[in-house]
Amino acid sequence: MHYSEIASALGQPKATRAVARACATNPVALVIPCHQVVPKTGGVGGYRWGPERKEKLMAMEKQKGLF
């Protein structure tokens, strides 16, 4: 899912940056998996604990069939 898709789903299609900021500051990131949200332009985007950790989490979850 992309940041812009979440913004649109919330009825705020221009709030892409706000969604990205909310994900970046999420203090319970493993409970609410904001790390699964990626930029529409590609790549993994930012992450509170670094993009390397985000990539590892996403790979682990994909391997286990979680996302």
- Cα-Cα-Cα-Cα dihedral of 55, 7, 24, 64, to 10°? -30
Q: Which of 7, 34, 37, 57 is catalytic?
A: 34
Q: Clarify whether 34 is annotated catalytic.
A: yes
Token couple for 19: 């969604």
Residue 49 CB contacts under 8 Å (≥ 6 apart), including other chains:
29
- Residues serving a catalytic function are 34
